[in-house]
Structure 1
Amino acid sequence: MIEYMKEGDILLALTNGRIITVTGPVYEKGTIVADGDKISRVGLTTDVQIPSGSRVLDLAGKTVVPGFIESHCHVGIMEEVYRIEGDDLNETSNPVTPTLRAIDAVYPGDLAFKDALEAGVTTIHTLPGSANVIGGITLIMKTHGLVIDNMAVNPCAGLKVAFGENPKRIYGDQSKMPKTRMATAAMLREQMVKAMSYRDKNQKAKCDPDKKPERDLAMEALGMVLDGTIPLRAHAHRTDDIMTAIRIAEEFKVKIIIEHGTEAHLIADEIADRSIPVVTGPSFTSRAKVELGQRTFETPGILSRRGVKVAIMTDHPVIPINYLPLCAALAVKAGMDYDEALKAITINAAEILGISNRVGSIEEGKDADLVIMDGDPLEIKTKVLEVFINGNSVYQNN
């Protein structure tokens, strides 16, 4: 027998709804119980006992999905309604800035956070921009809160690097390196070699403290890549830039994730053979520059069918973050398997970001990030009715 909500409940039960777990069964009539910020039970309504004192929501006719995950955006670091006042995306005074940290620039009052919640996006990966050869440290966070430190899931999620048109355009106009793709690659290699030397000196200093080098924050950031703590997040659109990024990663034996990958479908087998993930997009744009000439919503489907782990991005504010589910739907229209498209904004995104132990699917022990909808999650007419983050209701569509 269900006991309905009482003042001060800490248990939440969503019952009788269609539950799309993503990694497990679809329960046509299922129940989820959240104990505090974690999911404690999920299954058929007939199999899940709702604890006494729970706050119970009867979701007959509704659908529940895990909170969507935006794998690559600039929410909070490049605010939509501002120019210089809210634009902290690129430090264009220096092409090599590994010491920068996205967490130091994110404004939780950015209107995009509200837009994200309205679309059921509960976790985002915010990165520095692509003007620099090395742009800085990226941030994974939840989309609700007032203090970034409390919203952060991982404040040190990757090191942004960029290939292709942007660095050579920005610094070529300043008559500085890099003016060519060769220079971009050379500058990254130089910094990686310096970081290896810095690491070796610190290693030797364990036996001889007098030889310990002066602390170098840039080398520490690159050192996290060298020791495998974080991956390179490589902005690369064209096939040549993608392969240069891969070449450098293999040279230094570091983990890499391809960001954008506009032409990745043309070399899908090369990427699949190396088990390198790709975060594709934004595909909902014009071909605004040469390296976007092969832009198509077919890319994620082709990559997925070849065995590449794929996530789909909006690159907000390039595409508004609330269109993330629509981008997945357009990938389905272009030939991507429906389930794979849904995974591209849930569990695949979580696995690529290294946070699948917490988010990306509805499973016991994971964060209670849940989205209630009135229909299919990739149907354009479907509305988000309520969003929970860490078991707390943070958005209601009244």
Structure 2
Amino acid sequence: MIFIKNAKIYTITNGIIENGCILVDDGKIKEIGSDLVAPLDAEVIDAGGKNVFPGFIDAHCHIGMWEEGIGFEGSDGNEMTDPVTPHLRAIDAINPMDEAFTNAIQGGVTTAATGPGSANVIGGVFSVIKLHGDRVDDMVVRETLAMKCAFGENPKRVYADKKMTPMTRMGTAAKLRETLAKAFEYNQKKEAAGDDASKMPAYDMKLEAMLPVVKGEIPLKAHAHRADDIFTSIRIAKEFGVKLTLEHCTEGHLIADHLAKEGYPAIVGPSFGNKSKFELNKKTFDTPKVMVEAGCKIAIMTDSPVIPLEYLPMCAALAHRVGLEEVEALKAITINAAEILEVSDRLGSLEAGKDADIVIWEGHPFDLQAKVAVTLVNGEVVYRKS
């Protein structure tokens, strides 16, 4: 049992509690408020003069799949041998021993959605994990989060070199449509067969992996930077009636009104760094502000290792610097991210009953001079500044 006292608590969903307290028990937030009394058997953490936030959430990265300081040996995010690989699972490639996990925890980031890269039209399954632990199976929040798919330059670049489809945006869209159509047909045959094994279609590992998509259980997680690619992802999602989240959404500020009407959530970024390819030429930190003001729900990503995960607060701060309201910037790395990942019943805000993923900051996390004093994950102190 842990009792945090004298804290300025940013609950995210219920305002700020001045001189507040949090009681943590059995990995959960048991009580939160301003007039709590510490149980006699609780470890007391005095957070006087400090700010308390929920652990930050990166809704799109590749932590553990491209390891720090390693080349080929630690590169496990893109299976560039087949443009359609829905049967791949992030959980089989994540190495929680990578130092990026420690760096993230020390930077106040406690949860991430991580998964395959964007080399393939369909890359495989993303998972949501906590960032503290030594066995990924014990860190999982949602093993089957979403099915990664990619539009734009990346699949073209990979498969043009191999003289394979897709070499064009048309080819990418066609590959995705073909796979979705086959998955729907496969599902219909399975349902029609019922308990009659003789009528069951031959087992297809790829189509089995696509069933949660066609059944509406998980979304397509669509890598799309350019406006036309964003619209193509929406067009296909609507054609097949499947769920969709817009990943990167680099030109989202150019089409924000359209995106607000469509209603698909967007995970924006990485907005820091150079414009490394043509489809990033309109990249700007204005995108989150413009999209929020249009009525879109957004989260902010690092796309780690593109931006190291511990700099997620910096990415939100830079969006705030150009006009995104502070509360909206904080939501983009807390409750909005949790809601888009469908884990807001456990994460994203400081509320009784939620996981005790709590970070005590010396300063405000949008201040580059601020430092993390203490990080808790599942109610356990996993980092304490020496």
TM-score band (shorter)?
A: over 0.9
Distance 1:220 1:303 in 2: 35
**Aligned with residue 90 of structure 1, among 61, 78, 81:** 78
Distance 1:207 1:173 in 2: 45
Whether 2:177 is the aligned partner of 1:189: answer: yes
Paired residue secondary structure (2:74): coil
**Aligned with residue 28 of structure 1, among 11, 14, 18:** 18
Write the deviation string for residues 19-52 of structure 1: whole angstroms up to 9, x where unpaired: 00000020111000011100010011x2x23223
Whether 2:21 is the aligned partner of 1:39: answer: no
Whether 2:314 is the aligned partner of 1:321: answer: no
Paired residue secondary structure (2:246): strand
State the partner residue of 2:255. Answer: 267
State the partner residue of 1:3. Answer: none
Distance 1:333 1:64 in 2: 21
Residue 321 of structure 1: how far off its partner (Å): 1.0
CA RMSD of aligned residues (A): 0.9
Residue 286 of structure 1: how far off its partner (Å): 0.7
State the partner residue of 1:7. Answer: none
Gaps of at least 5 residues in structure 1 are: 1-10
Paired residue secondary structure (1:22): coil
TM-score (norm 1): 0.96
**Aligned with residue 279 of structure 1, among 260, 267, 270:** 267
Paired residue secondary structure (1:140): strand
Paired residue secondary structure (2:382): strand
Identity %: 51
State the partner residue of 1:5. Answer: none
State the partner residue of 2:279. Answer: 291
Matches within 5 A, 1:49-198: 49-198=37-186
For 1:15, the aligned partner's letter is K
Residue 265 of structure 1: how far off its partner (Å): 1.0
Distance 2:210 2:232 in 1: 18
State the partner residue of 1:17. Answer: 7
**Aligned with residue 226 of structure 2, among 235, 238, 242:** 238
TM-score (norm 2): 0.99
For 1:124, the aligned partner's letter is A
Paired residue secondary structure (1:154): strand
The total of aligned residue pairs comes to 386
For 2:341, the aligned partner's letter is L
Paired residue secondary structure (1:341): helix
Distance 2:179 2:288 in 1: 32
Residue 80 of structure 1: how far off its partner (Å): 2.1
Distance 2:49 2:198 in 1: 70
Residue 380 of structure 1: how far off its partner (Å): 1.2
In the TM superposition, structure 1's runs of 4+ consecutive aligned residues that sit over 4 Å from their partners are none
State the partner residue of 1:337. Answer: 325
**Aligned with residue 203 of structure 2, among 189, 208, 215:** 215
